Structure 1
Amino acid sequence: MSRRFTDLDNTWPAGLGRRLGAMIYDALLLLAIWMLVGFIGVALNGGEANESSWFRGGLFLVTFGFFAYFWMHGGMTLGMQAWRLRVQTVDGQPIGIGQSVARFLVAGLSFMACGLGYWWILFDGEKRSWPDLASGTRVVVLPKRRKRRAATGKNVCD
């Protein structure tokens, strides 16, 4: 039996602004990862920069691996965590590898179409982007964690 996320009744569809904020965070993280991969590639190539198709393919796989890992393990990239966003199936479960592939590829197409796949959120009644529609997923906003007073009298998070 697959695990299901909690707090499903307290989530709501994510708007364009939050998603763009998370994308900027993730882009900065990816830039650092690409720099590391580039450094390793140059070191392995004897100090010569190599823009071969192998290197570009490696960057593509590293980028997919970054997103797929986080989406499938908790539903949140680091940028999504900062903006309290989570990607999940329509019935509130973590997404699988097939849905990750579909989200990733359609996200690329959405960007190549001048971001139209994300502008679509403004017109869709359920605030779905093209990647959401193609993969059968949705991005939701998580509620803020409430602080409660423990028996010790200190504030702790749920």
Structure 2
Amino acid sequence: MPAATPAISPQPASNSMPRTPPLRRRLLCMLYEGVLLFGVLMAASAVYILARPLLQQVGLDRPYVDQAWMFLVLAFYFSWFWQRNGQTLAMQTWRIRLETAAGTPPRWPQSLFRFALAWLWLPPAATVGHALGLTKGPFIGVLAIGLLIWISLAWLDPRRQFLHDRLAGTRLVDLRPASKP
């Protein structure tokens, strides 16, 4: 009778925190997300244009209503994907996942809260641009600088998480297999 092979015990669970994706990968994911959002926002624009005559009839075709609509569409897009499985389409491609401290996808309130917090860089940057009297290109330059400052705050966090993740109680996790030493 052949000797029984010992049962292979499972690897002990690692108590270490999940790996944070490098900032470069997160920025590339954001760039890819922007490409995908072009189609989402085009569809949202088409809906707005179709609804515009009705909005005019009821007196809701005011300045910034279209921008508020786009903001709501973006909030729904991101929150729906995040609460569903923690990943937007771009995050699936780049193997990045958003999760809570418990390791689960955030629910609707936390997803919406994170989305709102991710825009905190905009009011200060816009205020500076307006205070300097900038328009068009220079104003967009000030917005870009504000965004870069916001992103660079991740270097101050020991886990290299964005400030809005820290405030929302979420984290971005790298889903790629760990490289061997």
**By the TM > 0.5 criterion, same fold?**
yes
TM-score, normalised via structure 1 length: 0.75
TM-score, normalised via structure 2 length: 0.66
C-alpha distance in 1, partners of 2:95/2:151? 18
C-alpha distance in 1, partners of 2:173/2:98? 6
Q: Deviations over 1:51-70 (max 9, x none)?
A: 74332221111000010001
Q: How many residues of Structure 1 are paired with residues of Structure 2 in the alignment?
A: 135
C-alpha distance in 2, partners of 1:8/1:83? 25
Q: Deviations over 1:24-72 (max 9, x none)?
A: 11111112111112123223436xxx77433222111100001000110
Is the strand fraction higher in 1 or 2? 1
RMSD, matched Cα = 2.4
Q: How far does residue 21 in structure 1 lie from its aligned partner after superposition? A: 1.1
Q: Between Structure 1 and Structure 2, whose CA radius of gyration is higher?
A: 2
Question: What percentage of residue pairs aligned between the two structures are identical?
Answer: 29
C-alpha distance in 1, partners of 2:81/2:99? 12
Structure 1, unaligned runs of 5 or more? 1-6, 145-158
Tell me the residue number matched to 1:88: 99
Q: How far does residue 131 in structure 1 lie from its aligned partner after superposition? A: 1.2
Mapping 1:114-153, distance limit 5 Å: 114-144=147-177
SS in structure 1 of the partner of residue 121 of structure 2: helix
Mapping 1:24-63, distance limit 5 Å: 24-45=31-52, 52-63=63-74
Is the helix fraction higher in 1 or 2? 2
Structure 2, unaligned runs of 5 or more? 1-13, 54-60, 126-145
User: Does residue 23 of structure 2 align to residue 16 of structure 1?
Assistant: yes
Contact residue 80 and residue 108 of structure 2 kept, 8 A:
no
For 2:157, the aligned partner's letter is: D
Contact residue 18 and residue 83 of structure 1 kept, 8 A:
yes
Q: How far does residue 106 in structure 1 lie from its aligned partner after superposition? A: 1.6
